[in-house]
A = this chain, B = another copy of it.
Amino acid sequence: MRPRYRVVASLSRLHHNHRTFLTSPSSSDEGFDFIFYMTNKAKSINKALNDAVPLCKNPLVLKIREAMRYSLLSHGKRVRPVLCLAACELVGGHESTAMPAACAVEMIHASSLIQDDLPCMDDESLRRGKPTNHKIFGEDISILTADAFLALSVEHTVAATSKDVSPARVMRAVLEMMKAVGTEGLVAGQAADLAGEGKCFEDNEVSLEDLEFIHIHKTAALLEAAAVMGGIMGGGSDEEIESLRRYARCVGLMFQVVDDVLDVTKSSEELGKTAGKDVIAGKLTYPKVMGVERSKEYAKRLRREARVHLQMFDSDKVAPLLSLADYIVQRLN
């Protein structure tokens, strides 16, 4: 059966997004074309994601699969799966070995976005310019779709990973991924985020600790899992895997600091989404806690820290991960 949603449009949009975000050429490694790298990786990832969620004939399952494909194959920068593949290659593995894990991480990301958008959560009608999943398929199907992604993320990692990777390594990767979902990951982050909105923090008793808790769980945990899973699948040593973890945690926090700063400093037009939303929602943000300038400094310090964690690796292999960190922080310029 032919797929309903095409990935081609998504890819050209991805390329466009990269050009827009990167206001200056990637400076970290001269000669390394980061845009070309990301676009190529995203192409392989989109192909693998398309294959991982086939449509089916049974009309009772078809709707779920359509809802999965609607969210999974929509425009996305694929930062998490690229990170997973790059980590795998950095420790000497082949892209294809980490591809099932990379897809799994993107499924979890899709699942969390579907849930965050629900009326009882952030109540969003649009995401990346398209109606949110529940606006198209209904709340009930959206909730089931999010479950289906969680289940498939594990199934896909276990069943699609090459037989050359030991079951013990696959198990370790799955454990990392599920930790990033549950009460040590996304679930805790979203619960904290909901608690942090509006009333709970109106007394200004907002601490950097609360904020870091939210973002370490809501954003950094899955980026961390992506990098760590790549390292595990690629056959990395424990030391290499822990360095990847620390690198990814810095990148995850930096990602959020930059997002928060852009929300208060850029116009909706520049952002391609509604600006100032966090302020309106009374959300806890870095600029709110430490001001815009100190937030920018913090993002840059996190980039420096991220680079330090990559020092143990061969300098000629580290360009993709260095550039990824630069890519995120350069959006501030």
Contacts and interface: CB of A to CB of B under 8 A. Distances in A.
Interface of A: 56, 58-61, 63-65, 115, 118, 120-121, 138-141, 143-148, 150-152, 154-155, 158-159, 166-168, 170-171, 174-175, 178-179, 181-183, 185-188, 190-192, 194-195, 210, 213
Nearest to A140: B120
B191 A141 contact: yes
Nearest to A190: B144
Number of copies: 2
Contact of A187 (B59, B151, B185): B151
Contacts of A179: 151, 155
A180 to B, nearest CB: 8
The 8 closest A-B pairs by CB, nearest first: A151-B182, A120-B139, A167-B167, A151-B181, A60-B192, A167-B168, A151-B178, A154-B178
> A121, A154, A183, A190: which has the most chain B beta carbons within 10 Å?
A183
Nearest to A168: B167
A171 B150 contact: no
Given A60-B192, A120-B139, A167-B166, A187 B155 contact: no
Contacts of A120: 138-140, 143
A179 B154 CA distance: 9
Given A152-B178, A155-B175, A170-B171, 13 more contacts: A56-B183, A58-B188, A60-B210, A61-B183, A61-B191, A115-B143, A115-B144, A120-B138, A148-B182, A151-B183, A152-B182, A154-B154, A171-B174
Contacts of A175: 154-155, 158-159
A58 B195 CA distance: 12
Contacts of A186: 147
A245 B188 CA distance: 36
A150 B181 contact: yes
A213 B59 CA distance: 12
Contact of A171 (B115, B143, B147, B158): B158
Given A140-B121, A155-B179, A158-B171, A191 B60 contact: yes
A182 B188 CA distance: 23
A151 B152 contact: no
Contacts of A58: 188, 213
